[in-house]
Amino acid sequence: MDQLILGQTLSFAGDPFAEGPGAARHHARGGVLVRDGRIVAVGDGAALRAAHPDAAVTDMGARLLSAGFVDAHVHYPQTAIVASWGKRLIDWLNSYTFPEEMRFGDPAHAAAVAENYLDLALAHGTTTMCSYATIHPESVDAFFAAARARGLRALAGKTCMDRNAPEGLRDTAQSAYDDSRRLLEAWHGVDRLSYVITPRFSPTSTPEQLMVLGQLWREYPGCLMQTHLSEQTDEIDWVKGLYPQARDYLDTYEAQGLLAEGAVFGHAIHLTPRERARLRETGAALVHCPTSNTFIGSGLFDMAELKAEGQRIGLATDTGGGSSFSMLRTMAAAYEVGQLRGRALHPSELWWLATCGSAGALRLDDRIGNLAPGMEADIVAIDLASTPAIAQRAARANNLWEALFPTIMMGDDRAVAGVWIAGQRRG
């Protein structure tokens, strides 16, 4: 049976960074018609109701209907260590991340954390996420099994590390290739799941490991490849010492066949001119992780200049280095970083980053990230008056953006009034 979800609707006909807020499409009394897990029509709610009188109606009132949020960079195994105190990147890995990831060889533990993470993400309106697992194949199986059970479009990969990590968290070049290939063949394309080739970052992979993962990517070019790039200055110095022959940090990947369309680089804060030029030329994606970048003191991502020069950019929580599971909080942090950079991001730009932009970074913008006919019906309903503080500010709004911005800056999971996954209500 067709279903019609009524409420305010927000979608995008273009990129507001290039076209301004006019790239958005808003219906104050709108509706979304869903059939067989896909969006059939978006428009005036009364007109859709009249044209489809047999559709099952869910009336969300004045709540805002949007594509579900897309979190383009997350570490689900770090769920339990989110908001741990006082470390920078390398100390964070050694003090918190590596001890926690050692536990994921236990399938029961991996399954419990995957279930918990996905429930938290859904409660915050995130309907697609791209996650790192651990070196353990069990951690990938657990994440994909839990995501499949929920009907999610989700992406993940085994994190590969063959040096500069505890013995229990190191694989080898060959086992990284073998495990990744086996997991890829088992999960990629199953229902709404995608495998991502996942070296953690150059400091924890030898050139030999990066080389075989580049070979694997050439063998399966339909997959994405994700890793980290230029997150902190001391990390960059570490890379220089480990790869003295490389022109820069990006070259440690480029030399091994890990720079191409479909590469997804987390953080990318401290980029050289050559790196910026090559990222743009290849069509690789950068993922802005603002709560993580401020929480562990990494730096301020240059959104305005990177977008102006044509980079492909998404947005992400980066939990657990990031300090929130909420893409609303992540948008707020992106706004604050933009202010410190001298360019206040408009609410339309922030919302686009968390939906269309992140979908584009993951090469999924033909399927998710927007309310448009033919797209998969991953939808979130947002209450624009979810708390007294937000409600009193939104009541003074003169337009959509003034009504939405308080929720971006102060909203949390209380603002998420409904979640649909492929047309099925999940919250």
CATH code, domain carrying 63 = 2.30.40.10
Same domain, 227 and 323: yes
Same domain, 324 and 387: no
Encode pLDDT of 260-317 as tens digits.
999 999 999 999 999 999 999 999 999 999 999 999 999 999 999 999 999 999 999 9
Same domain, 203 and 269: yes
For residue 97, report the phi and psi dihedrals to the nearest 5 degrees. -70, -55
Same domain, 284 and 406: no
**For range 230-236, the mean pLDDT:** 96
**pLDDT bucket at 256, cuts 50 / 70 / 90:** very high
Range of the structural domain that residue 258 is part of: 69-361
* Cβ neighbourhood burial of 241 (10 Å; 0-12, 13-18, 19+): exposed
pLDDT for the residue 94: 84
Look at residue 89 and tell me whether its pLDDT is greater than 80.
Answer: no
Residue pair 235/274 in contact by the 8 Å Cβ criterion: no
Helices (H), 53-96: 89-92
Look at residue 132 and tell me whether its pLDDT is greater than 80.
Answer: yes
Q: Which residue has the tokens 């290739």?
A: 177
- For the chain, the domain total comes to 2
Look at residue 86 and tell me whether its pLDDT is greater than 80.
Answer: no
Same domain, 284 and 146: yes
**pLDDT bucket at 90, cuts 50 / 70 / 90:** confident
Look at residue 188 and tell me whether its pLDDT is greater than 80.
Answer: yes
> Which of 44-48, 86-90, 156-160, 334-338 shows the lowest mean pLDDT across its residues?
86-90
Pairing of β 379-382 and β 416-421 = antiparallel
**For range 92-120, the mean pLDDT:** 94
Look at residue 378 and tell me whether its pLDDT is greater than 90.
Answer: yes
Encode pLDDT of 150-184 as tens digits.
999 999 999 999 999 999 999 999 999 999 999 99
Q: Which residues contact residue 368 at a Cβ distance below 8 angstroms, ignoring those fewer than 6 apart? A: 67, 68, 70, 127, 128, 153, 359, 375, 376, 378
* Cβ neighbourhood burial of 395 (10 Å; 0-12, 13-18, 19+): exposed
Same domain, 120 and 248: yes
336, 361, 386: which is the final residue of a domain?
A: 361
SS3 label, residue 82: coil
Residue of 372, 396, 374 whose CA lies nearest to 384? 396
341, 361, 381: which is the final residue of a domain?
A: 361
344, 361, 378: which is the final residue of a domain?
A: 361
Token readout for 405 is 């911005």
Same domain, 314 and 402: no
Same domain, 243 and 373: no
Same domain, 179 and 252: yes
**pLDDT bucket at 85, cuts 50 / 70 / 90:** confident
CB atoms within 10 A of CB 197: 26
Same domain, 328 and 420: no
Q: How many whole angstroms from its chain centre is CA 67?
A: 14
> Percent helix, strand and coil across the chain, each rounded to 5?
45, 25, 30
**For range 363-384, the mean pLDDT:** 98
For residue 18, report the phi and psi dihedrals to the nearest 5 degrees. -95, -35
CA separation for the pair 75, 155 (Å, rounded): 11
Look at residue 371 and tell me whether its pLDDT is greater than 90.
Answer: yes
Q: What is the DSSP string of 121-157?
A: HHHTTEEEEEEE--S-HHHHHHHHHHHHHTT-EEEEE
Token readout for 81 is 């260590």
Same domain, 47 and 113: no
**Mean per-residue pLDDT over the chain, rounded:** 97
In this prediction the pTM is 0.97
Same domain, 168 and 260: yes
Longest dimension (CA), the chain: 68
